[in-house]
Chains A and B, each alone.
Chain A
Amino acid sequence: MNGDRIFLWLAQVFYATSCVVTLRRLRAAGAGPELQRANYAAMACGFAFHTVFLYLRGHALGRCPLTNLFETQAFITWAAVLFFLLIGPSYRVSFLGAFTAPLVLVICLAALLSPVDVAGSAPPNHSPWIEFHAAIAVLACGAFALAFVTGGMYLFQERQLKTRRLTSSFLLLPSIEQLDVIHFRLLIMGFGMLTVGMAGGIVSYHIVGHWTIPKIIWASSVWTLYGAVVAARGLWALRGRKVAVASMASFTVMLVGFWGVNLLQR
């Protein structure tokens, strides 16, 4: 089943191309719209190959390709690119791709280069509930990944404004207000999906009747963390900088915890 990995590698070529286009855009300093289109096209091509990989893997497994750490990371990054392709043009967030591509590239390359693509232990009683719960939780992670990206952009742009040291990217990046709003929307989307995914997990536990303690601890801490961030931003009017830091920290905790849980299970 490893022949399909070539497609994920191909996707990385396009994500890397997108990174190069971004560097050129900064260097040329012309803010050429054609470079922005080139960036978007590279991401779309990468996404296409990424999709082919997930399709082939899912087809071979006969189920949603979330059976091991490798597949899960491929799925999360796929979801992140999906959100980028949807949000980037509709909200006119320039330079979102410039920050998304490196993150996706790093996570995918880490997955491709580490020995985590081993046949996972499929649960004994297979249920569509498990797949639903896993898939929607992974989509939530994709939204959180993009929230991480917009949070990083916010911090970068805010720092320039606060310190009055403007780099050549200053005029290319969106306003902090726009970044703050999109960041919050992504958080709400991610949190909503995560909640649904957790509910699906509870249902599938009742059907399948088995669970792993570390995973439950991990999932509930991630849910609590993001719940707190959403509440702080939405209800207590926490300021943009702190929300961005909290969301980025939550994503990091989630990713590290995820690796930990999966390694523990092995």
Chain B
Amino acid sequence: MNLIVIGLNHRSAPVEVRERLAFAKTALAEAHTRLLGANPVHEVVILSTCNRVEIYALADNIRDASCAVRQFLHDHHGLTERVDSHLYEHRDDSCIRHLLEVACGIDSMVLGETEIFGQVKDAYSLAQDAGTTGVVLNRVFQKVFSAAKHVRSTTAIARGSTSVGTVAVDLAEKIFGKLPKCTVMVIGTGEMSAATARALQSRGAGAILVCSRAQERGEALAVQLQGRAISYDQWPNEFPGVDIVISSTAAPHPIVTREKLGPLMKLRGRRPLFLIDIAVPRDVERSCEELENVYLYDIDDLQQIAEENRAAREREIANCQTLIDQHVRRLAEWLENNRAAVEDRYRQRVTGSPVADPAHPQIS
């Protein structure tokens, strides 16, 4: 009785291969039951995200199971050529370790990201609903969830943001606390400024104003962000009520100068102002940072913080591995101790012999 995972991820396969092997959400439940019904496996969980497709299975004969799962992948997606060179395979301890690394975000493209944890959870509950999990995968997945939580909360693997947009959100939250009371002004309609505004919005930022020299584009972005478009000359008038400014115009000279900002700051009382300047050449004069209550970050500042956070996460991998080792050892021990009992149970199911035989070992 062995655990096996066969799959591919962003490192082992290019997107052209990954997209062909991805499972449609609607077809997942059926795929679970099909794989279990026609193949020499006892339990199955399929994890399919944009960066990975993995099939976790419990089987008597690992070689047969490996062939069957590979064949299933090819058949299910109607592939004409083999993709085996892109597939990786882990067994038993190393399968548990892989699942735990995936759940912790260590195996992700963005190291330590937390979205994958929810995706693994969803995959497991879908398999559970489809009735393709059993005593072993139930145990393994549930223990992996609590282990992953433990790893994430006791190490810094998920700490600090690693993209420009989320770094800006972190900073905004450390200035203003909660964001719903904050008004955001977007000057210019670059893709990066829209992404940053969206990141702020996703954490609950309040009203959004969009101001652009090209009025049509400004209005289009305002519709996208469910904000209000204002004309370019109007921004100083709106300024006293704005808390966060995201600037990304193509202007060759600074548009927010210290001279302009000084008097405007006086109208704001003691409210701080967060200036996010992602334009190159820069839109905000550097000397604005000397004004009290002004917090100015340009694209390099944000990128540097994101880079530092990424480096800090990478330094945490060793700490994570130490914890992961402990959790894997515990789960592997359980699997070893109960191997006979599990094998027995599945044999009974196949032969149909009665379960209540005191001679049979119990699963602890």
Contacts and interface: CB of A to CB of B under 8 A. Distances in A.
A180 B269 CA distance: 14
Contacts, number: 64
B311 to A, nearest CB: 12
A176 B175 contact: yes
Contacts of B293: 239-240
A253 interface: no
B155 A161 contact: no
B240 interface: no
Interface residues of B, number: 26
Contact of A171 (B160, B272, B292): B160
Chain A contact-residue range equals: 20 to 34
B166 to A, nearest CB: 12
Nearest to B295: A161
A1 interface: no
Contact of A178 (B159, B177, B308): B177
A112 B297 CA distance: 47
Nearest to A233: B270
Interface in A18-50: 28-33
A192 interface: no
Nearest to B160: A171
A65 B139 CA distance: 60
Contacts of B171: 161
Given A171-B170, A237-B269, A238-B270, A32 B177 contact: no
Contacts of B173: 175
Nearest to B151: A30
**Quick one: which of A32, A33, A177, A239 has the most chain B CB within 10 A?**
A177
B174 A30 contact: no
Contacts of A31: 153, 156, 159
A3 B274 CA distance: 56
Interface of A: 28-33, 157, 161-162, 164, 166, 168, 170-171, 173-178, 180, 237-241
18 contacts: A28-B155, A31-B159, A161-B171, A161-B174, A161-B175, A166-B305, A173-B174, A175-B173, A175-B176, A176-B272, A177-B175, A177-B177, A178-B177, A180-B270, A237-B269, A237-B270, A239-B292, A240-B293
